[in-house]
Chain A
Amino acid sequence: MATRSSTSSSADRLAPLMAHLLVGVGGLLMLAPFWFMFVFATHSRTDIFSLPPPLWFGDASLGNLQILTSRLPFWRNLGLSLYVAAASTGFTLLFCSMGGYAFAMFEFRFKRALFALVMGTLLVPSFMNMIPTFMIMNALGWIDQPRALFIPGAANAFGVFLVRQFVIASIPRDLVEAARMDGCSELGIYWRIVLPLLRPALGTLGLITFIASWNNFIGPLIVMRSPEMYTLPLALRALQSPVDTEWGALMTGSAIATLPLLVLFMLSSRQLIAGLTSGAVK
């Protein structure tokens, strides 16, 4: 009995240790590519391929940046990426919040059918959209135009669904009716009452949209032709070739491309999650 209890207690102590070890190793494996990206960004191509490879920061970052900017309109690509991601996020938040709110709160003809249609678009594989997207953008004359990247996705099924569920779960109908009785117009109710309360949902949706747009490779590949209209993922890919790839410059570009997301993530963690509706009813 005594031995059994002692073995079980040592096993009890061992289990969390093993778990921590496992998570630690996993974490290291996840972080290693990032680490090497930042480290390689500060080394020249020859340093990178030396043995053993550099594990700590070097001093070639400025040189890398020079190569980067000479081979690519890098700052323009970066600006375009930011512009497309910001516009995508703005438009998505606006239209998805409107759509989700309407589907949650209003009664109108064909509501169920329309909602089913919107949700049905989630079932279409994105690859099936590639050629139609190109044809439509071509017909509109939007090839090589940034709007071809942020207008088509402005009202998407995922966003509409996310907002609709949030409205149903946490915006009481009484609030909308109270505002209506207070003389607020329908647009005013959406803007002054519903939108502020949607902040947690919009924060999540905004973050997801921004990241998706920032990392989007296929979209720009389909609609962008000239290198100065490339967004970052496409531009950095253009830096690679089978024979002459400037790995240091590529890593510098990648590192710079990662920074906005890191900043965004640090800024937006807490307050987006905090429930704003507490105290609304009861």
Chain B
Amino acid sequence: MGQVTLRGIGKRYGSTEVIRGIDLEVQDGEFMVFVGPSGCGKSTTLRMIAGLESITAGELLIDGKVVNTLHPAARGTAMVFQSYALYPHMTVAENMGFALRMAGIGAAERARQVGRAAEILRITELLARFPRELSGGQRQRVAIGRAIVRKPSVFLFDEPLSNLDAALRVDMRIELTRLHADLGTTMIYVTHDQVEAMTMGDRIAIFHEGRLAQVGAPLDLYHRPANTFVAGFLGAPRINLIDCPSAHHALWQQWLQCQADRPSAGRAAPSRLGVRPEHLQVVPVGSGVPATVVMAEHLGDCSILHVQVAGIAGLFNLKSVRDSGTFAAGTLIGIAADAASVLAFDADGRRLA
């Protein structure tokens, strides 16, 4: 079992409130990702669940039991640190078996359990080595192994991949997802990387300034963001947002038209509209809204165009799959938006349903 419930969890350092009433239910066996910009409180929340930070408001329940003041080791959680935090003076086997030794488990049984975890992570040949003799990826595996050995009901990961290089990160991402599938244990995973969040999580909790901005399945958040923050945080290049003051402009009119075409018309007038770069199309000059290409990034499979629309400050991002490589700076194009995918937000940034 590994159900984690946060009820109005808060954290305050003196007079500064860093976490403001988080309510969240992490289901048993779920892979939950905490994501957000730095300083949003995601790591602090994870550390409160681990017991490494005190909880100053609210209740934390693991499997229905309040654990607010329970010692970290007694909560049934295991944590993988960003720095790996391997004990440098112990071998890999000693590192992995340390928690068992602390629990008073005999050497033979320890060796058996460490051996099994090492097999899962394919690090059996490293057991006699010291951390300083391992590569970054190997250290990461050992850190995960140390967590596995404890057979926790909840795994906690604090940005575990951010010290690895890009290629290794992709491998470890897949491996961790598979590990979750194999073990079926609840995992809570903190990252600032939206790709990790989108690809690994059953659900994502997006943090913003110590609050939960939105919780949901990755694609739900992507397609139906609750507010402009979530819309802006997920997706690269960023979503294009256009403000009300330019209401007279052709682009606004066109997007508004898109909105009006949709069946759920007749709601409050939006004050901001958003459309993702892949939902904007290049159309022949003359049709659509005229725009000038300022910069084109050719990625091979698609091109990202940064275009200037007359009367609007700032550039628009466009992800063009076809016609790769044909846009040079200064090219005049027309742009049009997918009717169904334009998002509307109210004055407070909330999405209009």
Contact = CB atoms under 8 A, between A and B. Distances in A.
A and B associate: yes
Interface of A: 172, 174-175, 177-184, 188, 193, 196-197, 276-282
21 contacts: A172-B83, A174-B81, A178-B79, A178-B146, A179-B98, A181-B50, A181-B72, A181-B78, A181-B79, A182-B146, A183-B73, A183-B99, A183-B102, A184-B102, A197-B88, A278-B132, A279-B131, A279-B139, A280-B87, A282-B83, A282-B136
Contacts of B82: 174
Interface string B114-141: 0000000000000000111110100100
Quick one: which of B77, B88, B150 has the most chain A CB within 10 A? B88
Contacts of A177: 52, 72, 79, 81, 85
B92 to A, nearest CB: 11
B87 A181 contact: no
Contacts of B84: 174, 281-282
Given A177-B72, A279-B86, 16 more contacts: A172-B85, A174-B83, A178-B79, A178-B81, A178-B146, A180-B72, A181-B72, A182-B73, A182-B98, A183-B102, A196-B89, A197-B88, A276-B88, A277-B88, A282-B84, A282-B163
Nearest to A177: B52
A282 B81 CA distance: 10
B51 interface: yes
B73 A281 contact: no
Contacts, number: 77
Interface in B51-98: 51-52, 72-73, 77-79, 81-89, 98
Nearest to B72: A181
A282 B135 CA distance: 9
Q: How extensive is the interface on chain B, given as a class?
A: 20 to 34
Contact of A181 (B77, B131, B134): B77
A281 B150 contact: no
Contacts of B134: 279
Interface of B: 50-52, 72-73, 77-79, 81-89, 98-99, 102-103, 130-134, 136, 139, 146, 150, 163
B87 A193 contact: yes
A279 B86 CA distance: 8
A276 B88 CA distance: 7
Contacts of A180: 52, 72-73
Nearest to A196: B89
Contacts of A193: 87
A177 B134 CA distance: 22
Nearest to A181: B72
B81 A182 contact: no
Contact of B102 (A172, A182, A277): A182
Quick one: which of B72, B85, B102 has the most chain A CB within 10 A? B85
A177 B131 CA distance: 18
Contacts of A196: 89
Contact of B132 (A172, A183, A184, A279): A279
Given A180-B73, A197-B88, A280 B99 contact: no
A209 B163 CA distance: 40
Nearest to A171: B88
Quick one: which of A177, A277, A278 has the most chain B CB within 10 A? A177
A179 B52 CA distance: 11
B131 to A, nearest CB: 4
B51 A181 contact: yes
Quick one: which of A175, A180, A277, A280 has the most chain B CB within 10 A? A280
A238 to B, nearest CB: 46
